[in-house]
Amino acid sequence: MRIALAVLRRDRRSQVATVLVALGVMIAVSLVLWLVAAPNGLQARADRTAWREVFTQNEDRTISVAVNKDSFDGKLIERFDVARLKTGNVPVAAGIAKFPEAGEVLLSPALADLVRDTPAEKLGNRFPGKQIGVLGPEALKFPGELVAIVGHDKIENGYPAPGLAGGSGSYRDDYHGMLYLLTRVGLVVLVVPCLVLVASAARLTAAKRERRLAALRLAGASPRQVVIMTAVETAVGGVVGSVLGVLLAQPFSHITAKIPWEGGTWYPGDFVPSPAVVATVAVLAPVLVIAAAIMGLRRVVNRPLAAEEQRKVRSWRLMTIAGALGVFFLGILYAQEAGGDNQFTVVLLGLGAVAVALVLAGPVVTAWVGRFFVGRWRKPSTLLAGRRLAGDPVAAFRGSAGVVIAVFTGSMALTMLPGLESQVPFRDDTWKTDAIVAEQVTHDLTPLRLQTSAPIVTMLDGTVSAGADGSYGSYVIVGKCADVAKVLNGLSCQPGPAVYAYSRLNGDHFKSSGTKDDVTAKLPAQYETRPFNGSGRISGVIDPELLPGVEGKVSMVGVPTTRENRDAVHTALVGTLPGVQLVDGEQRGLYGDTLMADLQRATVIGLSIAAVLGGIGAAVAAAGSVIDRRRTFGALIAAGTPIRVLAHALRREVMLPVFAVTIGACGAGIVVGIGLLTLARGLVGRGEMPITPWVLAPVAVGMVVALVAALSCGPVLRGISPRDYAAE
């Protein structure tokens, strides 16, 4: 221990290495703490909003609840219409002052301010009744969320619930598990470059340390003494970096809370990991650094005379990629069949295994590249770089490992993103852009007619099939063509009753789908079929004259609007038809835009972090390579080699393996991205799997990052002189 501490006090290069180790560990610890806190933030949101998932099928049916999404001025509103089913106490969650009775309203603070500053006919009338309080932060997803709980005597389309009590929520089911999967994928693919950075920092000045320890072994030092010297020398930087990383994580979490997700930011306490997690990461980081340094001492401990022998790599490393991909796709198959909390465990293990396999296989490709350029060199710098790559491929690839992982992550993300975009619920062009349609209407429409002068289109939706039960039929709308054409796309009317459809309907039995009681009717044996050019989910429109017995039956209400009256019409529909589902193209597009912006933002942040980690790791490894070979460079400079040639050789050492290995990493990223997209597509139930040329962009970015990292070792190289060779 005294020798190790004396080295740290007196050897400038060891001091520089210790500082770099501390910085690498600090960055890794702070990022890992942030990554492991991300699920905590999502879980905190889920716990605060657990009262919204209150539906039940048991006998404890205290209230009826209708949950709807609303929007105003480009902001989403969560609306809950509630009514008592029986007398007695109704349990409520923290943040909800009391259950709102009929004629009472609870609003979130942001929505209350918005209602106060907006004309009632545009917004306030959507929440009829007396405001009895505001929702506290314990019941809100994020600061500034717009939420309303409106009390009624009766809810037509409500679901039974035991109350509005909170509890332990689960974000795993948010958007059919896609968010759960993406957070775990991000955790894995960003932890791996953190580990690469720590390993690169731990291996700084490894060559000089091996020579020094080999000399001590030959002088009589025991293997235990050599290991302790290395552990003490490395532990100083590791422990200091771990402490700094823990201290940095706290302000970092407050910055992270400002990143929007699902339409709003976070509460400051959401991104705080548990003390047990902080302690575990803080202890594991220096332990891993020390372990990485000790693992490199096997030759020194066992064969000190062979400490400077060239290390060979075996081709079996390439087989690890095939094995890791096999585990990954087995995990995909398992996740598609299984459920529960461990559904994605094998997938994530396979994903991490692929990333590690790329790091293991990199030195093999590096050795091949080195031998290729040694045999075909045209410039001295190319020969020097080729000799280094072929002679010590493990050390030469170390600087490229982080960049390779960043390219793998980027190609995977850019493969998934276009496919996820096709799964986001944007507007489907069923209804006209200026139309607002209310579904599952069982209300009296008289109050609506009194509230608005806009034309009201009444319709009945259902299916037409060959059987009376309506199964496996075509989804159709029953209504007067001239009226329905005001709100439905692709409908061109002609005089006389007819069926407007893509082709003749396969059946003649009609059964309603949005009414309290089933309404059935039968089409006549002969009727005229006219073309229908709609591009949405409706297959046809039937004039009511062809279905006797459905006159006056209503399950849908559509209203064409103008820019001036849209908010007023929307308010009239919500206020007079509580509990109905509104199909509003603007609202649906807003939800899709919000979700897509979240995915794009998360992708950009994740790829930026991966690129920064890869660049830092490459710069640290490149600088360490120069420090380790200070004697060699000093001898070359003393022999007359220009520093410019050595600088070119260093750049080629970094760039050549990066170019070769990142091509394979890009291919692996595309394959893994397709697998994850297949799994996400199965979770959501729809979507395409397009691959764009942008998946190759990470290769170019990786080359640029590697070049910048290679240039960073220039100052270290220029600090070498022939005197360094004489000193050695």
CA distance 85 to 159: 11
User: Does 459 have pLDDT greater than 80?
Assistant: yes
Percent over 70 (pLDDT), the chain: 88
Q: What is the pLDDT of residue 145?
A: 93
And the tokens for 150? 């409106």
CA distance 61 to 111: 29
Tell me phi and psi for residue 262, to 5 degrees. Answer: 60, 35
Percent over 90 (pLDDT), the chain: 21
Instruction: Map residue 225 onto helix, strand or coil.
Output: helix
Residues 480-484: contacts with CB under 8 Å, at least 24 apart: 480/543, 480/544, 481/541, 481/543, 483/455, 483/457, 483/458, 484/457, 484/459, 484/541, 484/558
Q: What are the C-alpha distances in Å from 242 to residues 291, 434, 473, 497, 657?
A: 15, 57, 63, 78, 31
Burial of 249 (0-12, 13-18, 19+ CB in 10 A): buried
**Residue 395, beta-bridge partner list:** none
Sign of the Cα torsion 399, 405, 410, 415 reads positive
Query: Residue 223: which of 306, 303, 292 has the closest Cα?
Result: 303
Q: What is the pLDDT of residue 114?
A: 94
Q: What are the C-alpha distances in Å from 567 to residues 318, 450, 514, 574, 587?
A: 62, 16, 25, 11, 12
Burial of 380 (0-12, 13-18, 19+ CB in 10 A): middle
Q: What is the pLDDT averaged over residues 323-330?
A: 92
Q: Tens digits of per-residue pLDDT, 347-372?
A: 888 988 998 899 899 999 999 989 88
Q: What is the pLDDT of residue 684?
A: 46
CA distance 228 to 4: 8
Summary mean pLDDT of the chain: 82
User: Does 7 have pLDDT greater than 60?
Assistant: yes
CA distance 372 to 380: 15
And the tokens for 236? 């100083």
And the tokens for 634? 């000093």
Q: Tens digits of per-residue pLDDT, 199-244?
A: 776 666 666 677 777 778 788 888 788 888 888 888 888 899 999 9
Q: What is the pLDDT averaged over residues 115-125?
A: 91
pLDDT bracket for residue 104 (50, 70, 90): very high
> At residue 576, what is the residue type?
T
Tell me phi and psi for residue 605, to 5 degrees. Answer: -65, -45
Q: Are 558 and 459 in contact (CB under 8 A)?
A: yes
- Beta strands per DSSP E along 523-625: 529-531, 540-542, 556-560, 581-584
Q: Are 540 and 501 in contact (CB under 8 A)?
A: yes
And the tokens for 638? 């003393």
User: Does 310 have pLDDT greater than 70?
Assistant: no
- Structure-token match 């706290």, residue found: 250
pLDDT bracket for residue 138 (50, 70, 90): very high
**Least confidently predicted of 180-194, 679-693, 713-727:** 679-693
**Least confidently predicted of 108-117, 209-218, 470-479:** 209-218
Burial of 578 (0-12, 13-18, 19+ CB in 10 A): buried
- Beta strands per DSSP E along 561-627: 581-584
Q: What is the pLDDT averaged over residues 489-510?
A: 89
And the tokens for 279? 């302690």
For 78-121, where are the alpha helices, taking DSSP H only? 109-116
**Least confidently predicted of 274-278, 306-310, 388-392, 504-508:** 306-310
The single-letter DSSP state of residue 545 is G
Extents of the domains making up the chain: 1-49+173-309, 54-168, 435-585
User: Does 656 have pLDDT greater than 90?
Assistant: no
Q: Distance between terminal CA atoms of the chain?
A: 24
> At residue 289, what is the residue type?
V
Query: Residue 595: which of 161, 85, 179, 18 has the closest Cα?
Result: 179
And the tokens for 330? 């087995």
What number of CA atoms fall less than 13 Å from residue 512's CA on the CB side? 26
> Has this prediction a pTM greater than 0.85?
no
- Structure-token match 């600087």, residue found: 399
User: Does 284 have pLDDT greater than 50?
Assistant: yes
And the tokens for 520? 């059935």
Q: What are the C-alpha distances in Å from 281 to residues 27, 37, 476, 691?
A: 12, 12, 58, 37
pLDDT bracket for residue 718 (50, 70, 90): confident
Query: Residue 210: which of 302, 313, 304 has the closest Cα?
Result: 304
Query: Residue 635: which of 550, 700, 720 has the closest Cα?
Result: 720
Q: Tens digits of per-residue pLDDT, 142-188?
A: 999 999 999 999 887 788 888 888 777 766 555 545 666 777 787 77
Q: Tens digits of per-residue pLDDT, 584-627?
A: 766 667 777 787 888 788 888 888 888 888 888 777 777 777 77
CA distance 663 to 408: 9
User: Does 448 have pLDDT greater than 80?
Assistant: yes
And the tokens for 146? 């717009």
Q: Are 108 and 148 in contact (CB under 8 A)?
A: yes
Query: Residue 419: which of 694, 191, 184 has the closest Cα?
Result: 694
Better-predicted residue by pLDDT, 388 or 59:
388
Q: What is the pLDDT of residue 390?
A: 87
- Beta strands per DSSP E along 399-503: 435-439, 457-465, 474-478, 499-501
CA distance 261 to 589: 16
User: Does 532 have pLDDT greater than 50?
Assistant: yes
> At residue 148, what is the residue type?
A
The length of the chain is 728
Instruction: Map residue 609 onto helix, strand or coil.
Output: helix
And the tokens for 227? 């290991």
Q: Are 387 and 344 in contact (CB under 8 A)?
A: no
pLDDT bracket for residue 486 (50, 70, 90): very high
User: Does 686 have pLDDT greater than 60?
Assistant: no
Instruction: Map residue 508 onto helix, strand or coil.
Output: coil
Instruction: Map residue 563 onto helix, strand or coil.
Output: coil
CA distance 104 to 148: 11
**Least confidently predicted of 139-143, 189-193, 319-323:** 189-193
And the tokens for 76? 């989403």
Q: What is the pLDDT averaged over residues 439-453?
A: 88
**Least confidently predicted of 99-108, 565-574, 679-688:** 679-688
Q: Are 517 and 549 in contact (CB under 8 A)?
A: no
